[in-house]
Structure 1
């Protein structure tokens, strides 16, 4: 006599699969296509020029909303995959999903693009927004700020910026169409849907606190009235035999924003010794408190536990029928090196193997709500857990 498990009784509404050129698809496509199915795709940049697998996804899910972007390294159920595609699917029974895109051809267009997306998505029953944008032309903080201005209060916003091996090979997948220089967002509308977000770092503070006394956009000109380069050089020094330029990739800055307990991390992209300015990977408001950070590979992995604990503090983790979107910073890979695959595995283990997981390494991570300052991160692991209850 056959016995029925819990999974036999409760129909599965989520799934994951992956693709690589040597082995093809890891499993058959699940029969989850519907007008309220979300398909999230992360793929290596070369599939923009050889899109046959992406077309297979679009053909198999003609009714679904398809969103995604490029990333040289993707994650699928705890496995780190290079040159591959990771696909996550979730079908909703009592939730509407809406998907829109907006062009972002330059940093200056980011705020207006966010407002446009917010106007299209706004709804009294909107519970969450999953958003991806081109990592080359988008100023993520302004994009999120524009979105926040048009949304109801306390809507969760999660996502990240498309990445590539270089700045020339990023792209977006917006409703199944390949695009560059766009932002794409999907909204979850209903009373039984949940998008829960959490972040983890793994960085420790060094040096002394300073005030950003002159900034413009992503450029930090002065700390405590001195050229930013001079202050940064004193605090970082030439540890472990590295020069200042090489050290900058291992010594990001943390920004302490007013009325926000969480610290925002900013990568140091370039240091101009002539002008004394530091170019960051995201915006830096004038007047914020700044401090240098550093880390090790093991400390970065501790950041995964931090994110899991924060997720557990916000929701009871489901046993199945949930989709986790993990967006980690591309810069974390430069610290983790051979241990990068451990980050994906730890996140999968921590959330529980009943929760399907896909992820990517991004040029910036988004984890915030429509209330309060827009939280756009670098060097951070962010998680967005989507489920219907």
Structure 2
């Protein structure tokens, strides 16, 4: 497996980070960038002319990861050539299906199953219920096939997100990439670095991923009870102190990222399901915990390779981590780079949701507030 990378920004234009002359031999290209740049037809045309035969997968983010750094308002391109691995892609438009579950069910039904070793998903981030998407994806797939990837992001947490397959990014698309054959070894890990605090509460009123009440108390009143005086705006408090849903796996919790609040009905929109009856607690973190967790995710993602180094890492971190890290955001990526080594290619973006198994031999799940990493190594 060979990897080359380049990036574009308005001031400097294109910068070649690595050049192996892949050109027409590239089979897969990841394009991650800001919402305006992934929609730029001229830039996409330049990527297409450089890699005329590749499947080009596009996703927007709230920050772009490449060459061990986080950048803003850039377009980052990672081109791949496989020696013995086959890939197949497909795209589903949200307007063409019933709901988020149906999107996943269509992908898992249409993707070829024979020899499928891994499925990557890059989805619209603000018009989809990520939990229902995962349920649909798993409907027609073997549990042995890990699903990784993420939901597209945007700098403004309330604005549109964009994805595309062999076209500029547009709203409402979900992209699937199937990897086939025995020669591609894949690792994955998702680490959070958040800890619960405060009382455990039940979700007493919700509709899918819209939360109204905890213990029959409006969501903003609940936060005000515990955080009043620390925040003038309780909506901001939900963003800084997300909720963790208790799972069946010991002390593990699935974190849910807050996206928006509707003052008319008192509903808080989250990136994944908030099921009635579930037990939740507020979660908190700090800069050091998030940086340490990112490094742990990198180390864990390399476990399948033993002493060999992966060929590539795709990193999907959550926009919610940015609110805590702020000026320390590059340190999170430096923690990942330290684990991988400076010479290993990595790319990714900050998202509205991350997709990976919660632990080895478990089903894939939608995560929030995590660093989620997929690593690839082709054996030739």
TM-score (norm 2): 0.89
Measured at CA, do residues 293 and 72 of structure 1 come closer, stay the same or move farther in structure 2, by a change above 3 Å? closer
Corresponding residue number in structure 2 for 1:343: 332
In structure 1, C-alpha distance between the alignment counterparts of 2:236 and 2:36, rounded to whole Å: 29
Q: 1:368 aligned to 2:357?
A: yes
Q: Could you list the per-position Cα deviations for residues 320-345 of structure 1 after superposition, in whole angstroms to 9, with x for gaps in the alignment?
A: 5x111101111211111111111122
In structure 2, C-alpha distance between the alignment counterparts of 1:115 and 1:333, rounded to whole Å: 32
CA contact (8 A) 2:291 2:332 kept: yes
CA contact (8 A) 1:14 1:88 kept: yes
Out of 50, 54, 58, which is 1:60 matched to? Answer: 50
CA contact (8 A) 1:229 1:271 kept: no
CA contact (8 A) 1:78 1:346 kept: no
Task: Show the 5 A alignment for 1:255-334.
Answer: 255-259=245-249, 262-270=252-260, 277-316=267-306, 318-319=308-309, 322-334=311-323
Across the aligned residues of Structure 1 and Structure 2, the Cα RMSD in angstroms comes to: 2.7
Measured at CA, do residues 106 and 163 of structure 1 come closer, stay the same or move farther in structure 2, by a change above 3 Å? farther
Corresponding residue number in structure 2 for 1:182: 173
Corresponding residue number in structure 2 for 1:254: 244
Corresponding residue number in structure 1 for 2:224: 233
In structure 1, C-alpha distance between the alignment counterparts of 2:239 and 2:198, rounded to whole Å: 16
Q: Which runs of 5+ in 1 are unaligned?
A: 1-11
Out of 76, 80, 103, which is 2:70 matched to? Answer: 80
CA contact (8 A) 2:187 2:302 kept: no
In structure 1, C-alpha distance between the alignment counterparts of 2:55 and 2:161, rounded to whole Å: 21
Task: Show the 5 A alignment for 1:100-115.
Answer: 100-105=90-95, 109-115=99-105
Q: Could you list the per-position Cα deviations for residues 300-322 of structure 1 after superposition, in whole angstroms to 9, with x for gaps in the alignment?
A: 212212312432444436335x1
Measured at CA, do residues 260 and 105 of structure 1 come closer, stay the same or move farther in structure 2, by a change above 3 Å? farther
Q: Which runs of 5+ in 2 are unaligned?
A: none
In structure 2, C-alpha distance between the alignment counterparts of 1:343 and 1:107, rounded to whole Å: 38
Task: Show the 5 A alignment for 1:160-199.
Answer: 160-166=150-156, 167-199=158-190
Measured at CA, do residues 271 and 139 of structure 1 come closer, stay the same or move farther in structure 2, by a change above 3 Å? closer
Corresponding residue number in structure 2 for 1:135: 125
Q: Could you list the per-position Cα deviations for residues 266-288 of structure 1 after superposition, in whole angstroms to 9, with x for gaps in the alignment?
A: 12345678866543232112222
Measured at CA, do residues 161 and 260 of structure 1 come closer, stay the same or move farther in structure 2, by a change above 3 Å? farther
User: 344-353 vs 334-343, which deviates more?
Assistant: 344-353
SS of 1:99 mapped into structure 2: strand
Corresponding residue number in structure 1 for 2:204: 213
User: 337-346 vs 256-265, which deviates more?
Assistant: 256-265
Out of 11, 14, 20, which is 2:9 matched to? Answer: 20
Q: Could you list the per-position Cα deviations for residues 329-362 of structure 1 after superposition, in whole angstroms to 9, with x for gaps in the alignment?
A: 1121111111111112221221223321011011
Corresponding residue number in structure 1 for 2:341: 352
Alignment coverage as a number of residue pairs: 376
Shift of 1:299: 2.1
Measured at CA, do residues 37 and 273 of structure 1 come closer, stay the same or move farther in structure 2, by a change above 3 Å? closer
Q: 1:145 aligned to 2:143?
A: no
In structure 2, C-alpha distance between the alignment counterparts of 1:189 and 1:262, rounded to whole Å: 32
CA contact (8 A) 2:44 2:168 kept: no
Shift of 1:37: 2.1
SS of 1:196 mapped into structure 2: strand
Out of 75, 87, 95, which is 1:97 matched to? Answer: 87
TM-score (norm 1): 0.87
CA contact (8 A) 2:160 2:171 kept: no
Shift of 1:181: 0.8
